Amino acid sequence: MKIDLTQICRNVGSWLTQSGPVSDIVISSRVRFARNIAGFHFYSQADSQQREEILQFAHDKLMATNLHGKLLYVNMCDTSDLERHLLTERHLISKELAEKDGSRAVAWTHDESLAVMINEEDHLRIQVMANGLQLDKTFERICEVDDLLAHQLEYAFSSQFGYLTGCPTEVGTGIRVSVLLPLPGLKMTQEIEKVFRAAKDMHLAVRGLYGEGSEPIGDFFQLSNQITLGKTEEEIIESLVVHAVEPIVEYEKRARRKLLQEKQNALDDKIFRAKGILSAARLISSEEALYMLSYVRLGIHLGRIQDIDLATVNRLFLLTQPAHLQNLYQETFDASHRDLARAEYIRKAICN
């Protein structure tokens, strides 16, 4: 059965439409495990025949779990550039998986909360996403999936180094815990650099909207652990939450309060200009749209804007990305045509 990606991508994943805890500041929580299958070379050293064998093996084992009825499976060789781009924008696959060649695939659940990439840097990359700050629940879920797979296949594992990964910086737990945070308050009060320096001192990585290899766009930041060995998964999660996410959420709240009290006019100006641009612009780039949507989102959370609902803004964040927009309009755009279509789409969504 061919999965119709273009149809799926006309909407947003259901995990994104529910609202989770602290979702005024934390957009999403994600946990991913890097796993390799014993008895095979790591991806980078496997030849094309072995890569195909790994793909087939991983596919069969994944489908032998009780997840199989819930999974959509797409072999990357059967996809177009646009489709891979769509999957990247939905965070179902990484840029690396989208851009490289050869045997590779992704399987995900209908609600898009679980995705398993096959033959990325490691044989398996399992990820679970949730709305808002819900790392504990996310971790519980990913452990279930991990156990299901461990019953079907043997992971490359050593008692000394834990789960063995292609890159030694991921070895041990193979865990990457990340949260996506828009921090417009801290950005406006110019305290954001301070937060990043503190995060880096704690061996945390600060990245952009699309994780590894992406620059921060707008005021979206992805915060994640870098150390994967020598601590339990729970410790890694707890230390990220207690020492980084919670304090940053607190700083962001304080910055927003301070802006409301001391610079309400300047804040309102930013928020309502953003709303004005989104409801009037005739050409808008995806970067500008992200910035403006983020201000509008802030305005909604602070009660300054009441005639636009949060769900609309959240949908627009995803659907105005280049590939999604192209998919909605079912035609190939050049950049300027895309900016025209984006502006039109946002205007319609906001003014209704």
Partner 1 sequence: MQCQMCDKTATVHLTEIINGAKIERHLCEQCAQQEGITIKSQVPINELLNNIMAVQEEAQELSDLKCPQCNISWAEFRKRGLLGCPNDYLAFSKALTPLIKRAHNGASSHLGRSPAQHKDTAGQQAKMLRLRQKLQRAVESEDYESAARIRDEINQISSN
Out of 1, 69, 101, 158, point to the residue binding partner 1 (CB under 8 A): 158
263 lies in the binding site for partner 1 (CB under 8 A): no
The least distance separating partner 1 from the CB of residue 50, rounded to whole angstroms, comes to 7
Q: What share of the chain is helix, strand, coil (3-state, %, to 5)?
A: 50, 15, 30
Interface stretch with partner 1, choices 39-47, 73-81, 274-282, 339-347 (CB under 8 A): 39-47
151 lies in the binding site for partner 1 (CB under 8 A): yes
Tokens of 133: 């700050």
The least distance separating partner 1 from the CB of residue 96, rounded to whole angstroms, comes to 12
Give, as ranges, the residues between 120 and 139 that touch partner 1 (CB under 8 A): 121
155 lies in the binding site for partner 1 (CB under 8 A): yes
210 lies in the binding site for partner 1 (CB under 8 A): no
173 lies in the binding site for partner 1 (CB under 8 A): yes
Beta carbons within 8 Å of 272's beta carbon, 6+ residues apart: 299, 304, 305
Out of 17, 42, 82, 111, point to the residue binding partner 1 (CB under 8 A): 42
Q: How far apart are CA 205 and CA 101, in angstroms?
A: 28
Nearer to partner 1 by Cβ, of 25 and 34: the residue is 34
229 lies in the binding site for partner 1 (CB under 8 A): yes
Contact 228, 236 (CB under 8 A): yes
Tokens of 208: 């952009």
Nearer to partner 1 by Cβ, of 174 and 184: the residue is 174
The least distance separating partner 1 from the CB of residue 294, rounded to whole angstroms, comes to 28
Q: How far apart are CA 122 and CA 266, in angstroms?
A: 48
Site string for partner 1, 47-86 (x = CB under 8 A): --xx------------------------------------
Site string for partner 1, 182-201 (x = CB under 8 A): ------------------x-
Closest CA to 195 of 146, 244, 155, 229: 244
Burial of 83 (0-12, 13-18, 19+ CB in 10 A): buried
Q: How far apart are CA 107 and CA 234, in angstroms?
A: 26
Q: How far apart are CA 20 and CA 299, in angstroms?
A: 19
> By the criterion CB under 8 A, which residues form the site for partner 1?
36, 38-42, 44-45, 49-50, 121, 143, 146-147, 150-151, 153-169, 171-173, 175, 200, 203, 227-233, 235
